Chains A and B, each alone.
Chain A
Amino acid sequence: MASGIFNVAVSGLNVAQAGVLTTGHNIANASTPGYSRQQIVQTTNTPQFTGAGFIGKGANVESIQRVYNQFLTSQVLSAQSGAAEMDSYLAQIRQIDNLLADPSAGLSPAMADFFKGVQEVAANPASLPARQAMLSASQSLVARFQSVDQRLREIREGVNSQITSEITLINSYAKQIADVNQRIIVAQAAGPTVPANDLLDQRDQLIAELNKEIRVTTQTQNDGTFSVFIGNGQPLVVGALNYSLQAVAAPDDPERTIVALRSPTGTTVNVPESLLSGGKLGGLIAFRAESLDPVQNGLGRIALTLATNFNDQHRLGQDLTGALGGNYFDLSRAGPTVMANANNAVPSLIPAVTISDPGALTTSDYRLTFASGSYTLTRLADNTSQAYILGSQVDGITITAGTWVAPAAGDSFLIQPTRGGAGNLALAIADGRNIAAAAPIRTATALTNSGTGTVSAGTVNAPPPPNANLTQTVTITFDNPPGTFDVVGTGTGDPTNVAYTAGGDITYNGWTIKIAGAPAAGDRFTVSTNANGVSDNRNAQLLGAMQTQTRMVNGTASYQSAYSQIVSQTGNKTREVEVTGKAQQTLADQAQNEVDKMSGVNLDEEAANLLRYQQAYQASAKLIEIAGRLFDEIIALNR
């Protein structure tokens, strides 16, 4: 009987001790990340049947359970992954946002200064200081294009190296999860009813951390292990086996680090970027494709278009030495880049790509592929493909065979029309006298004219190169009656009796003049070379007027508005990412709160439990004392 009481007391003591231990464990881990509070599952021992009924035999601890809800945890995972993606996206795009934000560092003030320099030359075409000032402003515009582009390159390199370190981190998590899986198999050998609580928590925490790097899906196996997948089912951990990710250079763009999956057997497959969403890695990859590429290409597009347009107009002018203008900007290295896929039949052969219409350029990159005898051009920004015929113009670029004379099926090339535009821009002239501020022709009205005919200053027809006979002297003499005129001069074919329309265009040798009024018979007008025309600013005026002309995006945007489009796109994207990130974070916080509400440790509660188990322990100890005293009473009876 007494032994029964002892047994009951000891079972109480054990249970209370287990309770205190568990409570202590909870208190100790109150701030351990991913820890789920544990509680003992206490049941009564099987009672002893007597005639009077069942006599209880005390209590025991059936198991120690963690308070855990799989559903809530998976909600946290999903929200966390989104929040982490936005977080990493935001950290990257903020760099561009800040770069563009600075009113003195952006492209805008440099461009304004540049055109101001042009206007200064237009105001003082013969002034060497004004010309020097324009050159300096041009230098700083080029330098600004280069420095902004350089900063974007640095960001790109940063993204590449972060992708590499993300992959290292992901691989390390994957390995740890595989390890924990292994330990859980061992620990839960007795069966899932005896859960290895702390290991499970540890694995959940590892998955939560991994999920912040890249979105994963998990699947519980019969043996209690988790399989972890990325993308749409690419395995990362299967049981105790872990796959690994690898950072490799893209086959057609060595500057682009992409992700490859390496199985335990050693085979490697490139993972398409569209599958790598969520988490920091997803954020980095999305940032690169959605923001960095368009911004860098957009900047290059402005540089290319501005420089090409400027060169074209500059070549129609005449410089201070009397020579026709040359190129103002050096675009020899700023043109489109073409990169052969490393898997091409002969990777050293590449097609030639030229910009045939700078006004029609987009900010996208392109991929040209050859299969079953036909070419396909894919615009990567919106992933639209079209059949392509070599030599035709698409989005302002024209592709010809170049050295790629024998295309092999499967050959593909990455074409970046505008990527290098800003970074490789340079100035082609170094002497202010070579700025072509004047027009190469002048018109004159003979002093002997008796009619009222006046001749316009004349313009040089676009596009370059200028007509070979542009500066030849051409004389227009009105016939009698003066309804027609004769033209004499090299290159004109000397037409006679050309009908005269007052104010109409008269075009020969690559120039256009207008004669208005009523010329009399015998009146003469001449067009000749503008020798010594140092005070002429007609070409500088035309160069300066380009500032406000809409020459980009198919004639819908000026250079400045193309730039402000970049600013606005970046600003909008930053804002979008910021707002989405906040929403995701709120979702994650709420989900985490739900988890914490259930699984988190409340110290007050634990304090109460501690008191409860302490008192139960004291009571059980008292029971032993009473049982002992009862036993003493029995002994005392024998004395």
Chain B
Amino acid sequence: MVRVSTSMIFNAGVKAINTQTATLLHLQQQVASGRRILTPADDPVAAARALEVTQAQDVTAQYSINHDNAKSALGLEEVQLTSVNNIMARLKELTVQAGNSTLSASDRRGIAFELRARFDEFLGIANATDSTGQFIFSGYMGSTKPFGASVDAMILNPALEVGYQGDDGQRRLQVSPTRFLEISDSGNDVFNRIKTGNGYFATDYAAGNTGTGVIDAGKVGNPALWAAVPAAAKQNVEVRFWQDSGVTGGAVIGAPTLTAGVDDEFMISVAGAPAVTVTLPAGAYADAAALAAAMQTAVDTALGVSPPATGSAVASADAGGHMMLQSATGQTITISAVTGNTGLATLFGTPVVGSGATYYDLVDVTGNVSLLTGAVPTASFPGPTGLRRYFDGQPLTFNGLVGATADYGISVTVTGNPAAGDRFSLAPSTSQSLFRTLANLIGALEGGTVGPGNQSKFANEIGFALTNLDQANDNILRVRAAIGSRLTEVDSLSDVNQDLQLQYQQTLSNLQDLDYAKAISDLTRKQTDLEAAQKSFMRVSQLSLFNYL
């Protein structure tokens, strides 16, 4: 028999009701807050996991903010650079227009005027600021105005570059756990670090050129070969022109003694002009060089002009002891004997008259050696041996050379008629700012173009300007391409981020959020349970034998 004490009935009833009420309260709190986990004790693992997922969610949200920041910074830069490219198109148009030889000096000044305005416009863009007043193109130094330049100062001093106060820094933002995205480009990278010429080497003309030769930017047919050329050997290379238009002695002159009336005279005619008689002082000469010096004086006296004016001639002797006479400006020279005088044979042996063709030499100036002959280059003699014939517009290729490097892998093209002694130089590309290129162009336009020499120099300048503007344009496009790919990257990262956010949201929801259907059904059930406990307790507690006494 089970004995039950009265207190047990009360205790059990109260306990049951307490338990049910506590459960009901917990359910009610869950339903009211919508949270499954009210305190970590409800589900310690999920509570801790929820904290970590929340952090991951926060971090992802931060990346999203950074994406927006990056997009706005990159977009701003892209807008500025797009306008640079647009202006650049106009600049090329103007430059081509300026190259037209029919333009008058005042037309060119008009173009130069517009170019000055563009110069200032570029300066404005390069000094652009973002919404917070930070300079876009100053690297890390956001509060420092990066560019300062004046066209006039730059024209006056060709060595002066644009002043850049910024640095090479690239600002970055963290856009994913491992990716720090660049959101700026330094002014150096955008406007200053622009390779001159064709990117490998730059061409230039010598200031003393007198012909009409115009050199292009040149081509690198084989970059590997160009790269393999020792730095010293390509530091300063020149194309030198020589015209085979003089007279060369056929025999070696030792230490001659000239006798007046016997062998001291000869006739000379420059460019088909009437022949004049050249008379050298009689007497003994130490060597061919001494004779050449005397011959120069005599020729000048005979022609009545001073070199290097048109119609003059240059006398010289080469190391081998041959005499040479050449027109200073490339005209054909003929000589003939004075009747009764044997001077021609004494002075020149059997003279050889030049063909009038133009030749060129390729010279390593630093090493002072001809790349074609391997010998020390002379001013223009000893004639075409080993040199190459020049044809207008034909590429001058740097192959088949005699030095340590047989092939430079490059070629340049000269058009027009270079005069003897004209020189064009090649040097490895360096950096030149967009502003320097513009200043050069404006200087050329404003400098006037009188005379055939100046006209060709101007044509050269226009060519260089076009080449360098192309380089600048390419550089801006390169930066814009980088910006574009960064924007694409941010976009795709944003998509990933949105998916992640959703994923984290879902994970968090699974961890924390209440299953309402289940909770409400539980609540109802517990309510019923509690009512049952209350009612049954009332019934049982009312039973007492004392009621019947």
Q: Does A244 contact B (CB under 8 A)?
A: no
Interface residues of B in 139-180 (CB under 8 A from A): 139-144, 161, 167-174, 177, 180
A520–B161 alpha-carbon span in the complex (Å): 22
Chain B: minimal CB distance from A350 (Å): 37
Q: Report if A564-B51 is in contact (Cβ < 8 Å); known contacts: A126-B143, A535-B171, A536-B171.
A: yes
The answer to whether A601 touches B7 (Cβ under 8 A) is yes
Residues of chain A with a CB closer than 8 A to B232's CB = 480
Residues of chain B with a CB closer than 8 A to A122's CB = 173-174
Partner of B173, one of A94, A123, A571: A123
Interface residues of B in 469-484 (CB under 8 A from A): none
Query: Looking at chain B, what size class is its interface with the partner chain?
Result: 35 or more
Residues of chain B with a CB closer than 8 A to A116's CB = 58, 62
A116–B62 alpha-carbon span in the complex (Å): 7
Partner of A571, one of B5, B40, B138, B180: B40
A451–B207 alpha-carbon span in the complex (Å): 29
Residues of chain A with a CB closer than 8 A to B45's CB = 568, 572
The answer to whether B47 touches A568 (Cβ under 8 A) is yes
Q: Does A380 contact B (CB under 8 A)?
A: no
The answer to whether B54 touches A101 (Cβ under 8 A) is no
**Interface window among B289-297, B355-363, B423-431:** B423-431
How many residues belonging to A are interface residues under a CB distance threshold of 8 Å?
81
Residues of chain A with a CB closer than 8 A to B48's CB = 564-565, 567-568, 571
CB nearest to B544 among chain A residues: A603
Q: Report if A547-B66 is in contact (Cβ < 8 Å); known contacts: A442-B169, A447-B193, A571-B41.
A: no
Interface residues of B in 1-33 (CB under 8 A from A): 2-8, 11, 15
Chain A: minimal CB distance from B279 (Å): 56
**Interface window among A1-9, A211-219, A360-368, A592-600:** A592-600
A537–B141 alpha-carbon span in the complex (Å): 11
CB nearest to B431 among chain A residues: A447
The answer to whether B172 touches A575 (Cβ under 8 A) is no
Interface 1/0s, chain A 261-297, versus B by CB < 8 A? 0000000000000000000000000000000000000
The answer to whether B168 touches A548 (Cβ under 8 A) is no
Q: Does B43 contact A (CB under 8 A)?
A: yes
Q: Does A617 contact B (CB under 8 A)?
A: no
The answer to whether A108 touches B51 (Cβ under 8 A) is yes
A31–B177 alpha-carbon span in the complex (Å): 69
The answer to whether A126 touches B134 (Cβ under 8 A) is yes
The answer to whether B4 touches A567 (Cβ under 8 A) is no
Residues of chain A with a CB closer than 8 A to B7's CB = 30-31, 596, 600-601
Partner of B172, one of A111, A448, A541: A541
Partner of A521, one of B142, B144, B231, B430: B231
CB nearest to B138 among chain A residues: A535
The answer to whether A571 touches B6 (Cβ under 8 A) is no
Q: Does A450 contact B (CB under 8 A)?
A: yes
A457–B182 alpha-carbon span in the complex (Å): 11
Residues of chain B with a CB closer than 8 A to A481's CB = 231
Q: Does A522 contact B (CB under 8 A)?
A: yes
Chain A: minimal CB distance from B511 (Å): 12
The answer to whether A533 touches B41 (Cβ under 8 A) is no
A74–B544 alpha-carbon span in the complex (Å): 31
Q: Does B538 contact A (CB under 8 A)?
A: no
The answer to whether B132 touches A124 (Cβ under 8 A) is yes
A124–B70 alpha-carbon span in the complex (Å): 11
A521–B232 alpha-carbon span in the complex (Å): 10
A545–B8 alpha-carbon span in the complex (Å): 63
CB nearest to B73 among chain A residues: A123
Partner of B6, one of A108, A548, A602: A602
The answer to whether B169 touches A541 (Cβ under 8 A) is no
Chain B: minimal CB distance from A432 (Å): 15
Residues of chain A with a CB closer than 8 A to B58's CB = 112, 115-116
Q: Report if A575-B44 is in contact (Cβ < 8 Å); known contacts: A101-B38, A442-B168.
A: yes
The answer to whether A544 touches B174 (Cβ under 8 A) is yes
Q: Which of A101, A127, A457, A564 has the most CB atoms of chain B within a 10 A radius of its CB?
A: A564
The answer to whether B167 touches A533 (Cβ under 8 A) is yes
The answer to whether A574 touches B143 (Cβ under 8 A) is no
Q: Report if A564-B52 is in contact (Cβ < 8 Å); known contacts: A447-B431, A607-B549.
A: yes
Q: Report if A593-B167 is in contact (Cβ < 8 Å); known contacts: A112-B54, A537-B172, A567-B44.
A: no
A449–B138 alpha-carbon span in the complex (Å): 20
Interface residues of A in 23-55 (CB under 8 A from B): 30-31, 37
A552–B235 alpha-carbon span in the complex (Å): 57
Residues of chain A with a CB closer than 8 A to B169's CB = 442, 457, 530, 533, 535-536
A457–B5 alpha-carbon span in the complex (Å): 86
The answer to whether B142 touches A126 (Cβ under 8 A) is yes
The answer to whether A450 touches B428 (Cβ under 8 A) is yes
Residues of chain A with a CB closer than 8 A to B103's CB = none
Q: Does B188 contact A (CB under 8 A)?
A: yes
The answer to whether A567 touches B3 (Cβ under 8 A) is no
Partner of B55, one of A534, A545, A547, A569: A547
CB nearest to B168 among chain A residues: A444
Interface 1/0s, chain A 564-597, versus B by CB < 8 A? 1101111110110010000000000100110011
Chain A: minimal CB distance from B385 (Å): 34
Q: Does B352 contact A (CB under 8 A)?
A: no
A492–B56 alpha-carbon span in the complex (Å): 43
Interface residues of A in 446-476 (CB under 8 A from B): 447-450, 455, 457
Q: Report if A108-B41 is in contact (Cβ < 8 Å); known contacts: A457-B169, A567-B47.
A: no
A108–B430 alpha-carbon span in the complex (Å): 55
Q: Does A98 contact B (CB under 8 A)?
A: yes
Partner of B5, one of A108, A574, A601: A601
Q: Does A382 contact B (CB under 8 A)?
A: no
The answer to whether A548 touches B59 (Cβ under 8 A) is yes
The answer to whether B59 touches A547 (Cβ under 8 A) is yes
Chain A: minimal CB distance from B197 (Å): 11
Q: Does A604 contact B (CB under 8 A)?
A: yes
Q: Does A75 contact B (CB under 8 A)?
A: no
A84–B59 alpha-carbon span in the complex (Å): 45
Residues of chain B with a CB closer than 8 A to A97's CB = 39-41
CB nearest to A438 among chain B residues: B140
Q: Which of B140, B430, B543, B544 has the most CB atoms of chain A within a 10 A radius of its CB?
A: B140
The answer to whether A571 touches B47 (Cβ under 8 A) is yes
Residues of chain A with a CB closer than 8 A to B192's CB = 447
CB nearest to B8 among chain A residues: A596
Q: Does A13 contact B (CB under 8 A)?
A: no
Q: Report if A534-B172 is in contact (Cβ < 8 Å); known contacts: A126-B132, A447-B193, A560-B52.
A: no
The answer to whether A450 touches B39 (Cβ under 8 A) is no
Q: Does B92 contact A (CB under 8 A)?
A: no
Q: Report if A561-B59 is in contact (Cβ < 8 Å); known contacts: A123-B65, A596-B8, A601-B5.
A: no
Q: Does A150 contact B (CB under 8 A)?
A: no
The answer to whether B430 touches A448 (Cβ under 8 A) is yes
Chain B: minimal CB distance from A162 (Å): 21
Residues of chain A with a CB closer than 8 A to B41's CB = 94, 97, 570-572, 574-575, 578
Q: Does A538 contact B (CB under 8 A)?
A: yes
The answer to whether A574 touches B140 (Cβ under 8 A) is no
Chain A: minimal CB distance from B141 (Å): 4
The answer to whether B6 touches A123 (Cβ under 8 A) is no
CB nearest to B543 among chain A residues: A604
Q: Does B69 contact A (CB under 8 A)?
A: yes
Q: Does A226 contact B (CB under 8 A)?
A: no
CB nearest to B164 among chain A residues: A447
Contacts A119-B65, A567-B44 known; 17 new A-B pairs at CB < 8 A: A101-B39, A116-B58, A444-B188, A447-B192, A447-B193, A520-B231, A532-B143, A534-B143, A535-B139, A535-B143, A535-B169, A564-B49, A564-B52, A571-B47, A601-B6, A602-B6, A604-B544
Q: Which B residues contact A (CB, under 8 angstroms)?
A: 2-8, 11, 15, 37-45, 47-49, 51-52, 54-55, 58-59, 62, 65-66, 69, 132, 134, 138-144, 161, 167-174, 177, 180, 184, 188, 192-193, 231-232, 428-431, 543-546, 549
5 interchain pairs (CB within 8 A)? A531-B141, A534-B141, A563-B51, A575-B44, A600-B6
4 closest A-B pairs by CB: A600-B5, A535-B142, A571-B40, A571-B44
